[in-house]
Amino acid sequence: MKLLQLVVLITLVSCSHKEPWQHSAIRNTNPNYDMAKLSYEADSLNRGIRLELIRQSQTIEGYLNVLTFEIPPHGENLHQAEISLIANGKEFSFLVDRLEGGQRLHLSEKALDKLIELFQNYEEVTIHIAHYTQTFSSVSFDKQYRKLCFKPPRFMPEKFVTFELY
């Protein structure tokens, strides 16, 4: 009996599939406090890249993070780095802002728009930054991106629930 339980447990654990795109949100009718984040974790500590799309109110910002070492600056400009977006054999290069500490990049509006377009049109997108490279699956990106862009209704049901203690 214990052997059967062990086999069932191993089967369930091995069959579990983790969604690569992770969505989290803080919903609020006040636009200043309505936020959401869509992220894709790095596949390697040494060479992987973590992608974050963060929405606050109406604005979506994109960030690329590495977990080890600094991203080298582009030439003499210490505040920018070069990234390449690759999909279906096509490569697009952008200069993006390198944030303090050198392990986080803020995507420009053009780079973010191109990245979203590539995720919507191709199955895989590769991001290359210096010696960091990661291929991202765009499976379920559209569904998760719609969640990121979702705006809460003006009146939320929890606003109508009140409790009074006597």
pLDDT in tens, the chain (166 residues): 666 555 555 655 555 557 899 999 888 777 788 899 999 999 988 899 999 999 998 899 999 999 989 999 999 999 999 999 999 999 999 999 999 999 999 999 999 999 999 999 999 999 999 999 999 999 999 999 999 987 665 555 555 555 556 5
| pLDDT at site 43 | 92
**What is the spatial distance between Cα 102 and Cα 133, in angstroms, rounded to a whole number?**
16
* Among 51, 159, 57, 71, residue whose Cα is nearest residue 111: 51
* Among 147, 108, 116, residue whose Cα is nearest residue 22: 147
| pLDDT at site 58 | 84
| pLDDT at site 50 | 97
**What is the spatial distance between Cα 4 and Cα 107, in angstroms, rounded to a whole number?**
51
**What is the spatial distance between Cα 15 and Cα 41, in angstroms, rounded to a whole number?**
20
**What is the spatial distance between Cα 43 and Cα 134, in angstroms, rounded to a whole number?**
7
* Among 155, 166, 90, residue whose Cα is nearest residue 128: 90
Structural domains of the chain in order of their starting residue, each with its CATH number? 18-149 (2.60.40)
Count the neighbouring beta carbons within 10 Å of the beta carbon of residue 124: 14
- For residue 35, CA distances in Å to 25, 63, 90 come to 6, 15, 33
pTM of this structure:
0.80
| pLDDT at site 77 | 93
Are the C-beta atoms of residues 131 and 65 closer than 8 Å to each other? Answer: no
Cα distance between the two ends of the chain: 55
